[in-house]
Amino acid sequence: MRIILAQPRGFCAGVVRAVDIVERALEKYGRPVYVRHEIVHNRRVVESLEAKGARFVEELDEVPPGAVTVFSAHGVSRAVEEDAAGRRLPVLDATCPLVSKVHNEGRRYLAMGRTVILIGHAGHPEVEGTLGQIPGEVHLVATAEAVDRLPIPPDRPVAYVTQTTLSVDDTRATIEALRRRFSDIQGPDTRDICYATQNRQSAVRELAGQVDVLLVVGAANSSNPNRLREIGTEQGVPCYMIADATELQPDWMRGRRRWGSRPGPPPRKPWCRK
């Protein structure tokens, strides 16, 4: 059996940075260190950090007075920041720099007198943080179809920002719908977009043309691996999401040709591991 690994794969730089902040905090301040929300939606990483002394909480009232506290890579709202300051918690902010950039862009557009539209998924931790970082009118949309339901006059100056865990492909239709509806609209330059999600989705599309079965290793509560699984399925390949090797089912591989049944040349060396 040939196993082909996608390239790129794994965590983005923002997540690696956040995990590193927690580990360094444990080394410097000792255990326990409290982390608001999972530092990353990956059970193995969370359990590894817990074994070293990290304690993951959902709300700051679960943090003892004076305990070192880390904000996760997803970012937090102003209300959470103010709550931490009011309780005098020593805080290490592990918010991804690109998420912070979205916060700054949203505030800048608001200061320009524009109504801000956030493209993202309701309830996602990053979205909740961004909504709470922009001190004014912000409308959340997840799809192009939702654009027509926005309670905003079409001639009002607007601007949009996007959830960083959505790719360029994920947001393209929604941005096009916004541009069709509003005559005065601004948004971030495509050069400012985080391409970690986009590149991994592109890797899955390329990989789907070379394999008989596609496995996405990720957590069920994480939007990125769920989207990768959807893309694999859209490409017509049996696609399964697993947290680790214990969830692998032998039946998924039965009846598959040893070297793959799809046409085309063998994979390039950077993609292939036996």
SS3 assignment, position 238:
coil
Cα-based distances in Å from 81 to 18, 19, 34, 36, 74: 17, 20, 15, 11, 13
The phi-psi region of residue 63 (left if phi > 0; otherwise alpha if psi is between -120 and 50; otherwise beta) is: beta
- Closest residue by Cα to residue 132 from 118, 145, 149, 115: 118
SS3 assignment, position 34:
strand
Of 38, 81, 105, 126, the active-site residue reads 126
And the tokens for 240?
Answer: 């399964």
Annotated active-site residue 126? The verdict is yes
Residue 33 pairs in a beta bridge with 54
Residue 69 pairs in a beta bridge with 34, 91
- Those residues whose C-beta lies under 8 Å from the C-beta of residue 205, and which sit 6 or more positions away, are 231, 235
Query: Would you say 67 and 38 are in contact if contact means Cβ atoms under 8 Å apart?
Result: no
Q: Which residues are catalytic?
A: 126
